[in-house]
Structure 1
Amino acid sequence: MKSARLVRTGMAAALSAVLLTACSSSDGQDGVPLGWIKKTYTANGAAWLDRCDAPTKVADEIHDNRKAIDRASGGRMEFLRYGDDMVTVSPYGCGSRIEVEDYRNGYRRHSQHLGLWPDPNSASFRGGGPGEGK
């Protein structure tokens, strides 16, 4: 009796881990290249720093590593959209600060700079991630 319950619990935990990994957009085929960002730039709390390069150059580097769905500029910042996530590159001293966040939060913070990007609170928003167009 106990062994059957342990097997079911173990299978449920394994399935949950697989589903969470599959549904995560970071480092997926179309998601934010988070692993690459972590290896390339210096961690600084919840962000990463490039102490030398301007936001435009850093955004180019990130986009060259993995193409973003969309890109916008405004207020000396660069924005890259990856499905349900967003990368914001802003000035930091003579370099740049890189933030990765949920698209809804990023859109709420920076909508004035995002031009024609879709409003994540609209009924038509799908995010562009797994299950897009369902």
Structure 2
Amino acid sequence: MKTARRISATLLATVALAACSDSSEPTNAVPYRWITQQYTLVPVGYVDKQDLPSEVADEIDDHTSAQDVDTTGDTVFLRYRDDIVAVAPYQRGSQIEIADYRTGYQRWSGKLPSTWPHPDSNEFRGGGPGAGK
């Protein structure tokens, strides 16, 4: 009986500590599932056939707030913890591309704001559990 109490106390303490932990790390992940349900899949990502990139980016950001949003020309970039979402013009609507931060940074580096950290820098803390910390 004492063993059961110790296990219960340990589990409760673990849960309490986890709930009270203060993490300064951003917890927002790209709303991938929501995007896949809202927009039409095409070979180059997803499309919204009628809304402009700024409108689509606002919809995505309203669903899950991005760490940062930047517009370069007519493309809107949303920065999430481990990913970048690019929303660009596509026919009469928008094309949505999701890339992991490193790939997106390399692909769109000339268009991204200089305030977004390089994925190899100490300022970048994405990459999942244990990476870059």
Gaps of at least 5 residues in structure 2 are: 1-26
* TM-score, normalization by structure 2: 0.72
Partner of 1:30: 28
Native 8 Å contact 2:49 2:91 kept in 1: yes
Native 8 Å contact 1:77 1:91 kept in 2: yes
More helix by share: 1
State the 4+ residue runs in structure 1 displaced beyond 3 angstroms. 128-134
| 2:116 partner SS | coil
RMSD (Å) for aligned C-alpha atoms: 1.9
Query: CA–CA distance in 2 between the matches of 1:91 and 1:104?
Result: 23
Partner of 2:121: 122
Q: Which has the larger radius of gyration?
A: 2
Partner of 2:60: 62
Gaps of at least 5 residues in structure 1 are: 1-28
* TM-score, normalization by structure 1: 0.71
How many equivalent pairs are there? 106
Of all paired residues, the percent bearing the same amino acid is 50
Cα gap change, 1:67 to 1:130, in 2 (>3 Å): farther
Query: CA–CA distance in 2 between the matches of 1:60 and 1:117?
Result: 19
The Cα of 1:46 is off from its aligned counterpart by 4.6
Structure 1 stretch 58-67 or stretch 105-114: which is displaced more? 105-114
The Cα of 1:131 is off from its aligned counterpart by 5.1
